[in-house]
Amino acid sequence: MSASIALQPGALARYETPSTSEPAWIKVTLITVALTFFVIFLLFPLGTVFVQALSKGWGVYLSALTSHDALAAIKLTLITAAIAVPLNVVFGVSAAWAIAKFEFPGKRFLITLIDLPFSISPVVSGLIYVLIFGAQGWFGPWLAEHDIKILFAVPGIVLATIFVTFPFVARELIPLMEAQGAEEEEAAVVLGASGWQVFWHTTLPNIKWGLLYGVILCNARAMGEFGAVSVVSGHIRGLTNTMPLHVEILYNEYNYAAAFAVASLLALLAIVTLGLKTLVERQTRKQISESQKPSES
Amino acid sequence: MKFKTIIAGLLAASVLAGNALAADVTLLNVSYDPTRELYQDYNAAFAKYWKTKAGDNVTINQSHGGSGKQARAVIDGLDADVVTLALAYDIDAISDKALIPADWQKRLPHNASPYTSTIVFLVRKGNPKGIKDWNDLVKPDVAIVTPNPKTSGGARWNYLAAWAYALEQPGGNEAKAKEFVGQVFRNVKVLDSGARGSTTTFVERGIGDVLLAWENEAYLSLKELGDKFEIVTPSLSILAEPPVSVVDKTVDKRGTRKVAQAYLEYLYSPEGQEIAARNFYRPQDAKVAAKYAKQFAKVRLVTIDKSFGGWRNAQKVHFSDGGVFDQIYIPSGKK
Amino acid sequence: MASFKNFSPLPGFRLSLGYTLFYLTLIVLIPLSAVVTNTVGMGWEAFWSAVTEPRVVATYKLTFGASLLAAAVNVVFGLIFAWVLVRYRFPGKGLVDALVDLPFALPTAVAGIALATIYAPNGPIGSLLAPWGIEIAYNPNGVLIALIFIGLPFVVRTVQPVLADLEKDVEEAAAGLGASRWQTFLKIILPHVTPALLTGFAMAFARAVGEYGSVIFIAGNMPMVSEITPLMIITKLEQYDYRGATAIASVMLLISFILLLVINGLQGWMQGRYTKGA
């Protein structure tokens, strides 16, 4: 397929020496393997979502997206992300500041703890909130007495979402800020800047792209989380269904086109996320190469 | 897209739910999987009825899922005003946590089951494997789709119907029934966790030769997904009684007992029975039953109370961890 | 905290660390301790019998077996992907590079229904394989496919930067000394990327072990055959068996924690390796 174009000599100028590059047939094979894998495993599932979503035409597609249940699910998803993401941003910045700019014992262990939600099964993430806030759980009776609803209501969904997206911003910022070191900030402090001034004028411009990157990933996960939210949502139509849960419900109602229509919105979100991510990466690279220029010259 | 009309006020209702506006009431009906279409229709009818009778606007929110999962959610604090589940055991589980009094099944007629159903077979058009009755299911080349009896209410009815069939055969006894049901489950190709999942697997994914399904679910598949399938009614099946109850703790807290009670009672009215029948549930009301008699095949039905000593007993013997189902299922999986 | 000697002139240490610990405790540690205390409360025997039930053991075998296999497949294809993306130019490369992260960004439920549709016997790929008697959906193969899907970006993204940083002159030197291309790959390139490959493998594995959303739609969920451990937790809950669910959850929790320690250890090794070389 298109791989043959890759063999034009110009394209390979950097790797032309036979001793440090592979024979053409290996290149073709590797590229073909990668592209085949790419098409089967990534492009196909993505394409399927849109093909299925539009299988009954645009009319069905649009009415699926504008039904009251779908709108309520979209609204709930947006609310959830709007609460969870900023909270995790504040935490991520604070954790990265403490970990990257200071030395203290137990730092590595702290990082492991921050990573924990990332590797915990979403199902377990949901279960823990049932154990705590469920009517039979730790605070259940007290909450019921005071008529506070957490589980099977928006707070439970938000909490579970915060849990699963907890490490995203921190994990993005910690290595970045560690690599940048603390010299610039220290210089600013010596020059008399206050803590907040240092943060706003020195640190933030340095980490803005990394931060944005973390926010994008955090947001994508927050909007797309299924397992954890499925455990703590009561699946009440129009009230506690997020978009991924609404997809499941429609799927279970033989409403496949509508299920894939809502799924296609989530897939679009994924594509936008990846687009933004690529842009941000490009910016980061630019920033790094710019910051390196003066030191090299 | 029918449900649009019912859901129309939902967004507004969710905002208003906290405020005690006198004329606006919301109810939450926590139900099992195959009742989605039934309650879409019924909720609209009841809202109209209640408006004329009491003058209040009632909005009914719905939650659907596997029967066990739904009961668990209620136990964990999902504020259901009424539960309409697949089998009495799941409501018993809620009543064990003192949310519902123990005698709940006596509070409404017919064991608190306003409609009944039974278990039938859904096969592919032309019935290529010639499946007529339960004993055809154990033929070696038959692939069965059923949900998991440990998690799905409907699947427990499937299992017990197969058991009852084996018991009723000449020379049938417990040991033979165990052997027979074990053979049936050795032919199961996909064991989804809920009834809807199984239907999707069979109908949409084209897996298996026969789906063991609720009668109403089977008819609904025919209606929704065209004539690629046929329904086969076995010689004997089980009378499935999906019960309903008000959740006393919730309605007393929210002050919705009156409307919740009326909501369930209206299910027994001729209008409610009509809606149930139109959604392929067997009505209890004699007149409505006569009107829809043609729709439902005549089949010998055994009951859970007579053949299995009630749900609690059936649950303990067959579906508890280490129970009969675990004994017959686990060796088959190990092959 | 005052005992920590801090020589940094920067302000905000106490505030930021204090807030970090507070938020961590509130969101992560207290909720997780619910699993631990509930497990401890049930007693050793009850715990042991819950987590060693044959049906539960079967889910461990499938979950860990399929996760290992999926991570291994991802190591091979992830390396090929990273190699192709770093070393070669071909049309559509930008697109491939961007979409490698799709499994991160695509909600798992969406991935699940899409994969089930594709690989079902009547789906576009499933129908091609069916005549050969190959079934993917609704058996352990389906689990494997879903886990390969969600794990792919981990290996690619850990190996890619390392490969890009590999100094060209090292390879040229090797070639100059008479090494064949294959020898250079085996002796120079592969050892260089091994820590990254292992890290990617461990991350893909950790993610796969806990995965739920994408798997349940395609697995068929047969007890003893294609049930994964997270589904087992849900199943236990639906049978009102909170203790069983919590016990299995605590096993998974322990495994997650161990895997994380391994990953962090590997990353430490990587950092040491790659900064020394530079």
Q: For tokens 């203290």, what's the residue?
A: A104
pTM of the model: 0.85
Q: How far is CA A275 from CA A270, C94, C105, in A?
A: 9, 11, 11
The CA distance from A114 to A106, in Å, is 12
pLDDT at C127: 87
The CA distance from A17 to A182, in Å, is 43
Task: Tell me: pLDDT of C8 over 80.
Answer: no
pLDDT at A271: 92
Instruction: Annotate B154-195 with DSSP letters as a single string.
Output: HHHHHHHHHHHHHHHSTT--HHHHHHHHHHHHHTEEE--SSH
Tell me, yes or no, if C182 comes closer than 8 A to chain A by beta carbon. Answer: no
pLDDT at B206: 83
CB-CB: which of B76, B199, B203 is closest to A136? Answer: B76
Which is nearest to B241 in space by CA: B109, B148, B149, B48?
B109
Distance in Å, alpha carbon of C16 to nearest chain A alpha carbon? 5
Task: Tell me: pLDDT of B3 over 70.
Answer: no
**Residue C20: pLDDT band with limits 50, 70, 90:** very high
* Interface contact flag, A119 C107, Cβ < 8 Å: no
Mean pLDDT over residues C198-212, rounded? 91
Task: Tell me: pLDDT of B309 over 50.
Answer: yes
End-to-end C-alpha distance for chain A, whole angstroms: 44
CB-CB: which of B150, B192, B333 is closest to C239? Answer: B150
Tell me, yes or no, if B290 comes closer than 8 A to chain C by beta carbon. Answer: no
Task: Tell me: pLDDT of B70 over 50.
Answer: yes
With beta carbons under 8 A apart, name residues in chain A contacting B82: none
The pLDDT tens digits for C42-84 are 889 989 999 998 889 999 999 999 999 999 999 999 999 999 9
Which of the residue ranges A101-105, A217-221, B6-10, B82-86 has the most confident prediction, judged by mean pLDDT?
B82-86
Mean pLDDT over residues B307-321, rounded? 90
Question: 3-state DSSP: chain A helix, strand, coil percent, rounded to 5?
Answer: 80, 0, 20
pLDDT at A20: 66
| Complex confidence, ipTM | 0.85
Distance in Å, alpha carbon of B73 to nearest chain A alpha carbon? 7
Which is nearest to B164 in space by CA: B240, B66, B67, B232?
B240
* Interface contact flag, B69 C238, Cβ < 8 Å: yes
CB-CB: which of B66, B330, B334 is closest to C238? Answer: B66
The encoded tokens of residue B7 equal: 């859901």
Sequence letter at residue C126: G
Mean pLDDT over residues C243-259, rounded? 91
Tell me, yes or no, if B193 comes closer than 8 A to chain A by beta carbon. Answer: no
Contact A258, A55 (CB under 8 A): no
The encoded tokens of residue B228 equal: 């690629």
Tell me, yes or no, if B30 comes closer than 8 A to chain A by beta carbon. Answer: yes
In tens digits, what is the pLDDT along chain A, a chain of 297 residues? 333 333 334 344 444 455 567 788 889 999 999 999 999 889 999 999 999 999 889 998 999 999 999 999 999 999 999 999 999 999 999 999 999 989 899 888 899 899 889 888 999 999 999 999 988 888 888 888 888 889 999 999 999 999 999 999 998 899 888 888 888 888 888 888 888 888 898 899 889 888 998 998 899 999 999 989 998 998 888 889 999 999 988 887 778 889 999 999 999 999 998 999 888 888 877 777 776 655 443
pLDDT at C61: 93
**Residue B18: pLDDT band with limits 50, 70, 90:** very low
